[in-house]
Amino acid sequence: MKILFVTPECAPYVKTGGLGDVSAALPATLAALGHDVHLLLPAYRGMKVSGEIGDGVDLPPWGPWPAAQLVPVKIANGVTLLLLTCPALYQRAGGPYVDASGRDYPDNALRFGLLSRVAADLGTVRSPLKGWMADVVHANDWPCGLAPLYLAQARTIPTREPTASSVITIHNLAFQGVFGMETADLLGVSHDRRGMDGVEFWGQLSMLKAGIQCADVITTVSPSYAREIQTPAHGVGFDGILRARSARLRGILNGIDTTLWNPATDPLLPRHFAPDKLDGKALCKTALQARLGLPQDRKAMVYAVVSRLTPQKGIDLVLGALPRLLAAGAQLIVLGQGDPGLQQALKDAAIKQPRQVSVTLGFDEGLAHLVEGGADVFLMPSRFEPCGLNQMYSQAYGTVPIVAPVGGLLDSVTDASADPQHGTGFIMTGCDPAGLDDAIARATRLFREPVKWKRLQANGMARHFGWEDSAMQYLEVYERARRLADGEPALPPVLAADPARPQGSRR
């Protein structure tokens, strides 16, 4: 199958969160399964790409967009990277979405409109790559949301062009890509798609809504989140349209790249370890403490957070629990960046308790691996979590996760109190201070019983979180999208969100 995976970020070239990891691992797994995978990514400033570079294809100026180029690069994992090169739009100081001071670029509608436009063109007979037209265009999050709309428009113009089918994956429903409705003209959104059944969201244009309304299949990154986003509590205003399209909605749990995240081989760890040889983990713990200037105390329980610092991640709950953690003699390590208020509160805590709290503000891949290797407990009290990757990295690294009872956290952690035999972590009873305190108390009790703690670690390390199963599910989705694009009616039992009780749920 010819698959075009379009994304605004992909590790190791550009990453702000889990989407970067998923964009690296899923296409590579699909390519390893024998599929022809092209990955479309904007060429941002300072990106280092190595591989066999092919001839660039000129994309003449079109509509509101300046001239651009598509540069194919065959990368080592069998994927063809298509770098969308448009210096006027993508060569900027700052990140992929925001400038150096954290503000959205004012022309994001144009920047990601172009990404979506080119993605859609690659799925039509007008594909700029001679001889290559995608069978399926797999769009990710709001920055690619217009791609399914452009494909739907191409299908319905008088010529009824043959087009690729389209899939959109929602990695985070909170980011909706909302712009003034005047951008509809600019971006070429047809008049019949500007209403409530199209891109309109409270009088504005939402790129994510465009994708949800127009894609042949919608996926999200865990079965629990697929259920949650159809409820007012987690639907962020989109629950109605998601319920209306639930026959096309499916939750597929992300995997992790076990070649990068494997404690037995990870080059970013000072010592390697495995379930039956945990001495290496003890050495990682002291190396971590030493690197961050904390006392190298093996007995102190080390709690860790590696995260975007936003209200989503429940960092305020961690701050609330801190006095009790410190009173119990524990250490807290935080690596993250984001909300200035949370950054300041964390920094203040580190200044007040330098022997127990370490806060590193910034993005540091190497330190993230060392934290996973060295910590005892990983905290993820997220208010919502579409999937979450760190709880899976943690389990692979023998670091016991404490997680909120939401989304992909429920689908990937088994609670040790509910199932002592197979437990891999602790699921909070609620996403609130009492829920976190209770989970910390349960973890502390078990930490004092080394045999039981080791079993918990071993259970987590034995879990298989590789991408293969999920990639097979995406292939099913692509096939299904093809049939739906060809006019087959959507059949709720096949793709409706799985109503089974989430694994590991304590409720």
Question: What is the separation, in whole angstroms, between the first and last Cα of the chain?
Answer: 41
Instruction: Determine if 9 is a binding residue for ligand GLC (CB under 6 A).
Output: no
Of 108 and 220, the one with the shorter C-beta distance to ligand GLC is 220
Instruction: Determine if 383 is a binding residue for ligand GLC (CB under 6 A).
Output: no
Checking phi first, is residue 388 left (phi over 0); if not, alpha (psi -120 to 50) or beta? left
Q: Which residue, among 209, 114, 116, 119, has the nearest Cα to 170 in the 3D structure?
A: 209
364 interface partner picked from ligand ADP, ligand GLC, none, CB below 5 to 8 A per type: ligand ADP
Q: Which residue, among 455, 449, 451, has the nearest Cα to 400 in the 3D structure?
A: 455
CA distance linking residue 69 with residue 60, whole number of Å: 8
Shortest separation between residue 393's beta carbon and ligand ADP, angstroms: 7
* Helices 207-214 and 108-121, axial angle in degrees (round to 10): 20
Of 219, 224, 307, 414, the one binding ligand ADP (CB under 6 A) is 307
Of 3, 19, 215, 252, the one binding ligand GLC (CB under 6 A) is 19
Half-sphere exposure of residue 375, counting CA atoms within 13 Å on the CB side? 33
- Hey, which residues between 4 and 43 contact ligand ADP (CB under 6 A)? 17-19, 21
Tokens of 117: 């436009």
CA distance linking residue 149 with residue 270, whole number of Å: 48
- Hey, which residues between 386 and 445 contact ligand ADP (CB under 6 A)? 387-390
Instruction: Determine if 211 is a binding residue for ligand ADP (CB under 6 A).
Output: no
Instruction: Determine if 389 is a binding residue for ligand GLC (CB under 6 A).
Output: yes
Checking phi first, is residue 199 left (phi over 0); if not, alpha (psi -120 to 50) or beta? alpha
Of 166 and 254, the one with the shorter C-beta distance to ligand ADP is 254
Of 38, 155, 171, 442, the one binding ligand GLC (CB under 6 A) is 171
Main-chain phi, psi angles of 339, to 5 degrees: -50, 120
Instruction: Determine if 470 is a binding residue for ligand GLC (CB under 6 A).
Output: no
Of 143, 336, 423, 502, the one binding ligand ADP (CB under 6 A) is 336
DSSP letter, residue 65: B
Burial 438-471 (b: 16+ CB within 10 A, else e): bbbebbeebbeeeeebebbbebbbebebebeebb
Of 153 and 470, the one with the shorter C-beta distance to ligand GLC is 470
Residue pair 285/272 in contact by the 8 Å Cβ criterion: no
Half-sphere exposure of residue 145, counting CA atoms within 13 Å on the CB side? 28
CA distance linking residue 206 with residue 407, whole number of Å: 23
Residue pair 370/291 in contact by the 8 Å Cβ criterion: yes
Of 123 and 251, the one with the shorter C-beta distance to ligand GLC is 251
Instruction: Determine if 208 is a binding residue for ligand GLC (CB under 6 A).
Output: no
Residue pair 292/366 in contact by the 8 Å Cβ criterion: no
Judged by CB under 6 A, which stretch of 42-50, 381-389, 417-425, 479-487 contacts ligand ADP?
381-389
Shortest separation between residue 337's beta carbon and ligand GLC, angstroms: 14
Instruction: Determine if 17 is a binding residue for ligand GLC (CB under 6 A).
Output: yes
Of 47, 363, 432, 458, the one binding ligand ADP (CB under 6 A) is 363
Of 335, 431, 456, 461, the one binding ligand ADP (CB under 6 A) is 335
- Hey, which residues between 228 and 257 contact ligand GLC (CB under 6 A)? 254
Instruction: Determine if 222 is a binding residue for ligand ADP (CB under 6 A).
Output: no
Of 6 and 335, the one with the shorter C-beta distance to ligand ADP is 335
Shortest separation between residue 429's beta carbon and ligand GLC, angstroms: 21
Main-chain phi, psi angles of 324, to 5 degrees: -70, -35
Instruction: Determine if 6 is a binding residue for ligand GLC (CB under 6 A).
Output: no
Count of residues of this chain found to bind ligand ADP when the rule CB under 6 A is applied? 18
Residue 220 burial (10 A CB sphere; 0-12, 13-18, 19+): buried
Q: Which residue, among 36, 42, 12, 40, has the nearest Cα to 24 in the 3D structure?
A: 12
Shortest separation between residue 311's beta carbon and ligand GLC, angstroms: 12
Judged by CB under 6 A, which stretch of 11-19, 110-118, 143-151, 280-288 contacts ligand GLC?
11-19
Of 386, 401, 423, 425, the one binding ligand GLC (CB under 6 A) is 386
Give the footprint of ligand ADP on this chain (CB under 6 A). Answer: 17-19, 21, 306-308, 335-337, 363-365, 368, 387-390
Give the footprint of ligand GLC on this chain (CB under 6 A). Answer: 17-19, 22, 171-172, 221, 254, 385-389, 408
